Amino acid sequence: MNLGMSDRVRPLVEAVREFITEKVVPVDHEFLAEVNKGDRWTLTERQKEILNDLKAQAKSEGLWNFWLTDSERGYGLSTVEYAYLAEETGRAHLAAEAFNCSAPDTGNMEVLERYGSEEQKEEWLEPLLNGEIRSAFAMSEPDVASSDATNISTRGELQDGEWLINGEKTYISGAGDERCSILIVMARTNPDNPRHQQHSQILVPMDTPGVEVIRGMDVFSMDDAPHGHMHMKFTDVRVPEDNVILGPGRGFEISQGRLGPGRVHHCMRAIGMAEKALQLMCRRSVRRTAFGRPLAKLGGNYDVIANARMNIDMARLLTLQTAWVIDTKGVEEAHWWISKIKTVVPNVALKVIDDSIQMHGAAGLSQDFPLAAMYMAARTLRLADGPDAVHRMVVARGELKPYVRELK
């Protein structure tokens, strides 16, 4: 098992780290400050300029679409190799988008690459790969426990060669972005099929009649504009029959293929956030004094810093091992591992970020540091792509499996 950085990816990691440090970090704060100008959901001219410049520079330097592993459209990196790049993008707000490696676009592009028809790829994958549009994945619903995806109740009925879609979705990340042009909607299309063959994933353009954004959902009283997490309604939405991905009743099959690598990406970005929080904490602890001593030497802060370092390193190793299992045994065999990192990493990141906030005092909660936004993102990750409790259940079942067999 080789979890180290390969010779192939090492120069890419160094180039990405340099790009983020020299080009992304200097404009991160300015981009976020621009949100308060105008209506928040429309990019200002300066925001467009920042994003377009970063993307153009990244493309010109060949730093583009790393996330697409095992594909001729990407770099052909393994999941382990890309994990190191994903970690770097967690250190700055705009980093992932600068390299066209942002969620939910990466997951949606992977779905289209792995399962889409040639027509679907031409219409939607190509502009996404070029960074020309954004996308969203519409699954969670307000009236059911969406952690059990078999509860999804939005209906998709085939009528005269079209899908008729009705229902509501909530916390649809990225749907607030004015550049969001396409949704992948999870809908119940085959209610008489076995439990895990009742749902389909259907492509729905944002400008389709009947698609309505009801409101933006706050996260810790923040709207996360201009990205957003939207409450949406679908009323008699009609799209062509060919907009279904892979085929009717295959939504769960697609999700299982999508969520494996995607959760590794999320977790490595969270580790990158934790590293940034630890960096800020260490810098603050040696530069600020109280009661005549550096903060590092007060209140057990040596232990706080040491624990942060050790926990980050353990979380990283577990995530890299999970990536290795995906590469060598496939996503299906990696579900147990994926559930472990999906529980461990967000909690580790949360603890490190929280300790960093504490080291900064009230300033840690302010707009002068990225820590409050990072805390929001890490806390959200304990729910996104499945809550802790569901993943712990998967881990426990896997651990108990051989003992249950002994009873038979």
DSSP 6: P
Tell me the CATH class for 134-245. Answer: mainly beta
Q: Is the pLDDT of residue 305 over 80?
A: yes
SS3 state of residue 401: helix
Structural domain spans, the chain: 10-116, 134-245, 252-406
Give percent above pLDDT 90 in the chain: 90
Among the four given CATH numbers 1.10.8.60, 1.10.10.10, 2.60.120.10, 1.10.540.10, the one describing domain 10-116: 1.10.540.10
State the pTM of this model: 0.93
CA nearest neighbour of 3 among 278, 261, 326: 326
Q: What pLDDT shows up at residue 82?
A: 94
Residue 358 contacts residue 313 (beta carbons within 8 Å): no
Can you count the helices (H) and strands (E) in the chain? 13, 9
CA dihedral 84, 86, 92, 95 (to 10 degrees): 120
357: tokens are 């906030």
E runs forming strands in 265-341: 289-290, 293-294
Mean pLDDT of 369-395: 95
Specify whether the CB–CB gap between 174 and 280 falls below 8 A: no
Tell whether the model's pLDDT for residue 296 goes beyond 80: yes
Q: End-to-end CA distance of the chain, in Å? A: 34
pLDDT, tens digit, 9 for 90 and up, residues 169-197: 999 999 999 999 999 999 999 999 999 99
Mean pLDDT, to the nearest integer, of 258-269?
A: 89
Q: Is the pLDDT of residue 257 over 90?
A: no
Q: Give the pLDDT mean for 244-265.
A: 90
Class of domain 252-406: mainly alpha
Over its C-alpha atoms, the chain yields an Rg (Å, rounded) of 22
Task: Return all residues near 68 (Cβ < 8 A) that are at least 6 apart.
Answer: 74, 75, 106, 109, 110, 113
pLDDT tens-digit map of 323-365: 999 999 998 899 999 999 999 999 999 999 999 999 999 999 9
Residue type, 120: Q
Measured at the alpha carbon of residue 122, what is the angle toward residues 121 and 125, in degrees to the nearest 5?
Answer: 45
Helix (H) or strand (E) holding 271: helix 251-287
